[in-house]
Every structure is written in C-alpha cells, then in structure tokens.
Chains A and B, each alone.
Chain A
Amino acid sequence: MIGVNPERVEFYNLSAAQGPRWAEICTEFTEKIITMGPSPIWFALQKKKQSAETEKQFA
C-alpha cells in the first residue's frame, strides 16, 4: 500500500497486567527491526534531506 514491508508492523493485544510480556515483545521486535535495517521511508527521507542541502549550497 505505502511500500513498507508488512513484516515491519505487528499488532498485539495485551492487558495492563502483562508488563513482562510487553517488555519481551519490545525486545524481540527491536532485534527484528535492527536485523531488517532502515525502512525505505527512512532512505527516501535521507535522499530528500540531502537534495535539500545540495540545493541550499548552490543557492
């Protein structure tokens, strides 16, 4: 839909009493995201930023 790998999003349904499980999920997901690397949107934003800086230098 927006060009982002669906693997980058996960939904969980937890109660307020499941703090340890929440921490576990966060750790697992952080590891997963690190393995996957930056998202395509991050790359697109970097590119945009760079071209804006180049334009500024030439202005």
Chain B
Amino acid sequence: MIIGEQKPFDEIWEMVKDHKQLLVFGCNTCVAVCHQGGNKEAEILASLLRMRATQEEIDIDIINGGIERQCEHPFFESAKDLLDKSEAVLSLACGIGVQFVAEKYMNTPVYPALNTTFLGDVKADGLYTEKCQACGDCVLGVTGGVCPVSRCCKRIFNGPCGGSSNGKCEISKDLDCAWQLVVDRLEALGKMDDYEKLAPVKDWSKDRAGGPRSFKLEDF
C-alpha cells in the first residue's frame, strides 16, 4: 500500500493560514492504515489548525471530512457538497489523491498535508517498510520473492555487492542485505540454480524512464 508521513505542522500551517475557509480532507484507505491521512487524522489535524488559528487570532473556518479513496470518482459523491463550498482543501491523501482532487476542482487550491514516502507493508504495528518501486517489470519470480529494485540500496540485479556483511547492508547495520535475503530464500526453496543465472539488463523504459505511465482496459 501507499505509505505517507504527515508534513511538519508549521509547513502545513504556512500553506493554509491565509485562507478564510478550509476543508481538511482525509483519505480513508492506504494512508489511514499508517495513521497519517485517514478521516480520523483529518479530524485531529483540523482541531490542531483551529487551535493554532485561535492562538494567532486568525479567523479561518476550518471543517473536516473525508472519503474512502481520493483517487476514484465514485467515492467523491458523498463529499460533493463539502468540496463545492470549500475555498481551499488540505488533502491528507497521497500525492495521487491530492492531484485527483486538484484535477476535479480546477478553481480550488489543494494543498498536501502528507509527504508520500513509499509503497510498503505493515511489518509490525506502527512499522512500515518499503517493498516495491513499481518498476513496471517484476523480477520477484526469479529472486525468491525479494525485490532487488526496492530493497537493495544499489538496485543490483546480480548481487550481492562487496558491501554485504553478515547479512547486513553497508548502508546501515540495521538494514538487511536484499541479496542475502534472496539467497536465503532461494536456498529454502531449493532453487539455488536460479541464483547462478545471470540476470539480463533490465528494461527501464517500463519504469519512470519512459515518462508517466498509464494502463487502459480495452473492454471498459
């Protein structure tokens, strides 16, 4: 899922403080799981902004709301009235949601409350780790289900490099060497033959190198 982190409060405040009316708008799917951008967080952030506005003696009408997903048209139905009457929107969605709202409401300023950080999993309560970079050409089938694009610091396809030591990466002693994980997993699967195969040069045109990507289902 998409992981995001709330921007520093002062940065958010600077973006929105000159408006007379503001909708703090949550996105209750991915970024709600990491407790940063859901409808509950929108309520908390709106409350913090109201307190700051009161302290600074600035009059802003701050309301909060949210929908399940800010990246799909049908979900906006329930918030149509709220959005129609808003002077500005502080979106707690990922970068996708912020842009989606901005495209839908051409004349409404939309601000991001989050920094969208990565595509990851929930490793433990409150711990999220990067697992995919959406490179567009998945190699997990031959790397034992461990992604060298997102998990190897050097994105090496025929690893490990010389910086791998005791299963850890030279970048940090807390970081697993992705290629050690690949080897461990291939060994467990009895597929070490795959490790010996030289990976071909990756087609990066399917990644961002080919520009913004899209995908269309012809039968829709």
Contact = CB atoms under 8 A, between A and B. Distances in A.
Contacts of A44: 54-55, 57
Query: Main SS of chain B's interface residues?
Result: helix
A2 B57 contact: no
B9 A41 contact: no
11 contacts: A1-B9, A1-B48, A2-B52, A2-B55, A4-B51, A40-B55, A41-B55, A44-B54, A44-B55, A44-B57, A48-B57
Contacts of B51: 2-4, 41
B10 A41 contact: no
B57 A47 contact: yes
Query: Main SS of chain A's interface residues?
Result: helix
A17 interface: no
A48 B54 CA distance: 8
The 7 closest A-B pairs by CB, nearest first: A3-B55, A1-B9, A44-B54, A2-B51, A2-B52, A44-B55, A41-B51
A48 B9 CA distance: 23
Interface string B7-39: 001100000000000000000000000000000
Candidate in A1, A2, A4, A48 with the most chain B CB atoms within 10 angstroms? A2
A45 B51 CA distance: 9
Interface of B: 9-10, 48, 51-52, 54-55, 57
A41 B48 contact: no
Contact of B48 (A2, A40, A45, A48): A2
A40 B57 CA distance: 12
Contacts of B55: 2-3, 40-41, 44
Nearest to B47: A2
Candidate in B9, B48, B51 with the most chain A CB atoms within 10 angstroms? B51
Given A1-B48, A2-B48, A45 B54 contact: yes
B57 A3 contact: no
Contact of B10 (A1, A45, A47): A1
